[in-house]
C-alpha cells in the first residue's frame, strides 16, 4: 500500500511524504496504475515548487520514498500542495486498498 502523509502546521500545508508501493506483484495492473499516478503527481508537485515557483525545499527520494518539506512555503506553493492533496485524496477514494492519505499536524 502507498501511504501519503501531508505535513501541516496550524495554518497550511508545507510538504508531503509518500512511502510504499501500490502493487501487490509484478502482474498487478491496478497497482502499477496507482503507483504511476502517485509518482507523476508527486514529481510534478516537487518540480513546480522548486523550478517554477522557486521555493526552497528539502527533498529526499529513494526506492518507495519521496519526502518534500518546504522551508518557507509561499501562497502559490500552498495552493500546489493543496491541489496534490485533493488529487491524491480523490484517487484514494477510487483505490482505497492501494493508497492511504493522512495529515500530520
CATH number of the domain within which 6 lies = 3.30.70.1490
- Quote the pLDDT of residue 28: 79
Closest CA to 85 of 73, 72, 104, 102: 102
Number of domains in the chain: 1
- Quote the pLDDT of residue 92: 96
Kindly state the cell numbers that stand for 76: 502559490
- Quote the pLDDT of residue 77: 98
- Quote the pLDDT of residue 54: 97
Residues spanned by the domain of 9: 2-104
Closest CA to 68 of 87, 88, 89, 50: 50
Asked whether the beta carbons of 72 and 81 are under 8 A apart, the reply is no
Which residue in the block uniquely carries the three cell numbers 518557507? Answer: 72
Asked whether the beta carbons of 38 and 30 are under 8 A apart, the reply is no
Asked whether the beta carbons of 12 and 77 are under 8 A apart, the reply is no
Question: Consecutive 10-residue runs of the chain (105 residues): their mean pLDDT?
Answer: 94 96 78 92 98 97 95 97 98 94 92
Amino acid at each position: 500500500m502507498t501511504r501519503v502523509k501531508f505535513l501541516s502546521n496550524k495554518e497550511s500545508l508545507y510538504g508531503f511524504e509518500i512511502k510504499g508501493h501500490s502493487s501487490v506483484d509484478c502482474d498487478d495492473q491496478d497497482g502499477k496504475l496507482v503507483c504511476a499516478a502517485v509518482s507523476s503527481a508527486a514529481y510534478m508537485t516537487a518540480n513546480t515548487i522548486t523550478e517554477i515557483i522557486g521555493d526552497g525545499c528539502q527533498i529526499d527520494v529513494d526506492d518507495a520514498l519521496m519526502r518534500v518539506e518546504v522551508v518557507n512555503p509561499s501562497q502559490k506553493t500552498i495552493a500546489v500542495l493543496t491541489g496534490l492533496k485533493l488529487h491524491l485524496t480523490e484517487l484514494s477514494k477510487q483505490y482505497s486498498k492501494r493508497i492511504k492519505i493522512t495529515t500530520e499536524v
